[in-house]
A = this chain, B = another copy of it.
Amino acid sequence: MKQYALGVDIGGTAVKLGLFEDSGALMEKWAIPTDTTNCGENILSDVAQSIWEHLENRALPASQILGIGIGVPGPVDAQYTVYRCVNLGWGVFNIKERMNSLLPDIPNVTAGNDANIATLGELWQGGGKGYQSAVLITLGTGIGGGVVLNSEVIAGVKGGAGEIGHMTVNLQETVPCSCGKYGCLEQYASANGIVRMGRIMLEHSMKPSALRGMEMFTAKNICDLARSGDEVAQDILDSWGAYLGRAMSYVSCTIDPDVYILGGGMSRAGTIIIEAAQRHYRKYAFHVSKETKIVSAQLGNDAGIYGGARMVLNTTGYV
């Protein structure tokens, strides 16, 4: 009898769900809107209802479902207590107990922070496939991250593992980061950060650049222009790589992972950013870790549902 796992990724506007075979093959994925009214009290009952309907449509009995793995946009401890998710309106409660009361026929429920679970997904079936340990760095508005060692998520004692975006990489910074500190990696290497840094570098440069003609430019503009030979854009991307590559070398001096996976919007720029990060990473990394792979994420928005399903398989000893 075939066995299946459900991956659930709860976001601020939509909940993504996926039904997986125990081999890791995605059978079906779908999404439902996230109802954040009344402190998000309907979110999990909507999820349970949707799961129930999909299993009924497929005539799949609950006995063939190994469990449900849920990614949550906030800290989750080892006993599955959720500690506030501001985007959802959630306070503190036990998500496993809540799901068990909603879907008593699928008792195996596991949950974790969404960035950590996405890392597990990318390691299992995405950019890190075939490796045992990975660090995911998502380059978006900010910098998110997740750490998985020997296929186990490392959340940290207070959920602080994978907060690579808040490594202090510039001791001279005078503008505060959103976290309150000064000189965090996020201020230079996120999609917003590279633009902010780019504006300052442009001001201090005498070189011509197509960036000067743009009232507003984006991380994508910088990457595109760097690729087409714009020297200032290349300088900006090089500074970006110096900050990120150095931060990655700190990660390697701590845990020496198999692979770094770059995700988030900026990772779509592909080879040019991988090379910029790698060039500087190799300069700063301790010799045994210099050849650590740096790859692009492959699962996009599906990383969370893959990771949720993989968490279920981890807990049931299937993998």
A residues apposed to B, CB below 8 Å: 75, 132-133, 135, 147, 149, 154-164, 166-168, 179-181, 246-247, 249-258, 284, 286-289, 292
- Min CB distance A165 to B, Å, is 8
B250 contacts A160, CB within 8 Å? no
Residues in chain B near residue A181, CB distance under 8 A = 284, 286
Is the Cβ of B257 less than 8 Å from the Cβ of A156?
A: yes
Once A157-B133, A168-B249 are accepted as A-B contacts, the answer to whether A163 and B258 lie under 8 Å apart by CB is no
Q: Say whether B160 contacts A256, CB under 8 Å.
A: yes
Complex contact B250–A250 (CB within 8 A): yes
- Residues of chain B with a CB closer than 8 A to A164's CB: 253-254
Contacts A154-B149, A157-B133; A250 near B256 (Cβ below 8 A): no
Interfacial chain B residues near A166, Cβ < 8 Å? 253, 286
A246 and B161 contact, CB distance less than 8 A: no
Chain B CB count within 10 A is highest, among A132, A159, A180, A252, for: A252
Q: Which residue of chain B has its CB nearest to the CB of A256?
A: B156
**Apart from the given pairs A154-B255, A161-B254, A166-B253, 13 other A-B contacts in the complex at a CB distance below 8 Å:** A75-B288, A133-B157, A147-B254, A156-B252, A156-B255, A156-B256, A157-B257, A157-B289, A167-B253, A168-B249, A179-B286, A251-B254, A254-B255
